[in-house]
Amino acid sequence: MNETKYKNLTLLKSSENVYPETPEEATLEVFDNQYANREYWITFDSPEFTSRCPITNQPDFGKILIKYIPAKKCVESKSLKLYLFSFRNHNTFHEEVVNRILDDLVKACKPRKAIVIGDFNPRGGISIKVEAEYFADEM
């Protein structure tokens, strides 16, 4: 591994996983996009996402799909996995989850475009699907 090129990727180098308790404690690490002159999509699929209802404290299960076109930086996947894991005991509504993930992704890597989709399992006979988008040229 090129130590200089990837020196800021501390989570990937670590042999021990420290699981953050909250999204505030989690760190989304990034690395330089070697193809910043090209538009291409990166897609992350997290089929076992868990958070908690802020009212009942019951677990909510769903799938999170993250798609983005990077600009100068890319998100490192292990840090994203640990970040998403940090929602496991976090009390929040589905709409907040999706928009929070999008905001944190944009803050970390400033992509050209990004889409976050949360497809949550039914609860009380109804499922919820939330989609949030970011386009750099509109911001």
CATH number, domain with residue 129: 3.30.1130.10
**Does any domain span residue 85?**
yes
Residue 3: what pLDDT? 61
For the chain, how many structural domains are there in total?
1
User: In degrees rounded to 5, what are phi and psi of residue 66?
Assistant: -120, 125
- The range of the structural domain enclosing residue 62 comes to 33-138
Please report how many Cα atoms fall inside a 13 Å half-sphere around the Cα of residue 86, on the Cβ side.
22
Cβ count near 94 (within 10 Å): 19
Quick one: which H or E segment has residue 78? Answer: helix 77-85
Q: Which residues are part of the catalytic machinery?
A: 53, 60
pLDDT digits (tens, 9 = 90+) for 33-89: 999 999 999 999 999 999 999 999 999 999 999 999 999 999 999 999 999 999 999
Decide which of 139 and 71 is more confident.
71
